[in-house]
Copies of this chain bind each other. A is one copy, B any other.
Amino acid sequence: MEVHIAVAKINKYASSESGDTLEAVERPNGGVSVVLADGQTSGRGAKAVSIMVVRKVIGLLAEGVRDGAAARAASDALFTDKKGQVISTLNICSVDLHSGTIVLTRNNPAPIIICRAEKADCLAEESVPLGASRDVRPVITEMEIEPGLMIVVYTDGLVHAGKRRGQPMDTCEMLRSLLEDQDPSPQELADSLLAHAVQLDDGRPADDISVVVLKVVHRAGDDVRRMNIRLPIAN
């Protein structure tokens, strides 16, 4: 098998800093974890919060701490630091080669979508952000790594896109229609979802938006790990 992970990320309109922070890191016992946090408010303050949360989580994952425990620790650290006044969402999306599973950790009201064979399920069980109180627990979903499985994770910029104009985005519905058409690559899916959200916001995103698409496919290629990053620079 092989796992493909694609990320598309854009800042709020006219904002040079994104409140969303995303890092992908190697797991010490094999695999990768994508860690995505969205700090409350936008701009510099939100960036500092989301960076702090992501850093805390990847530091713990690197030591072999389990994803759920890392999320709880980051919540406690944020609560202690900000006295419950600042919250942050968190998603951890791990390909754990040690357990042979994909582990989804969510402290985010925004749902996660899980697709198998063109069927898209929306996991929308209630989930609270980090830092709001003591003992915040994440919602954890674990499943076998198997070909055909696809997972879509996003921040609330996607959820709220178009609301200003009274045309909110139905991400799950849009994903289903994208999957009906053809067999889009993870990057095409992430790009399409993001582009649609930006369009609903009249080309001026009302919030930072991040979309992560993870797909498991049958092994098609060589033994080479690859990573590709595109970073647009303002001037």
Please give the residue numbers on chain A whose beta carbons come within 8 Å of chain B beta carbons, in ascending order: 1-11, 16, 21-26, 28, 30-32, 51, 55, 59, 62, 95, 97, 145, 186-187, 190-191, 194, 219, 221-233, 235
Contact = CB atoms under 8 A, between A and B. Distances in A.
Given A21-B26, A23-B25, A233-B97, A228 B6 contact: yes
Contacts of A194: 224
Sorted nearest first, the 8 A-B pairs with minimum C-beta distance are A7-B227, A5-B229, A228-B228, A9-B225, A226-B230, A3-B231, A1-B233, A2-B232
A11 B30 CA distance: 13
A99 to B, nearest CB: 13
A232 B222 contact: yes
Contacts of A59: 55, 59
Copies of this chain present in the complex amount to 2
Contacts of A62: 51, 55
Contacts of A31: 231
Contacts of A32: 229, 231
Given A23-B23, A190-B226, 19 more contacts: A1-B233, A2-B233, A3-B231, A4-B229, A5-B228, A6-B227, A9-B225, A9-B226, A9-B227, A24-B229, A31-B231, A95-B231, A187-B228, A221-B230, A222-B232, A223-B232, A225-B231, A226-B228, A228-B229
18 contacts: A2-B233, A3-B231, A5-B228, A6-B228, A8-B225, A9-B224, A10-B222, A10-B224, A23-B25, A24-B229, A51-B62, A55-B59, A97-B233, A187-B226, A219-B232, A219-B233, A225-B229, A227-B227
A225 B1 CA distance: 27
Contact of A225 (B5, B7, B24, B227): B7
Among A32, A187, A228, the most chain B Cβ lie within 10 Å of the Cβ of A228
A57 to B, nearest CB: 12
A228 B2 contact: no
Contact of A232 (B11, B221, B231): B221
Contact of A10 (B23, B26, B223): B223
B1 A235 contact: yes
A194 B55 CA distance: 31
A10 B231 CA distance: 24
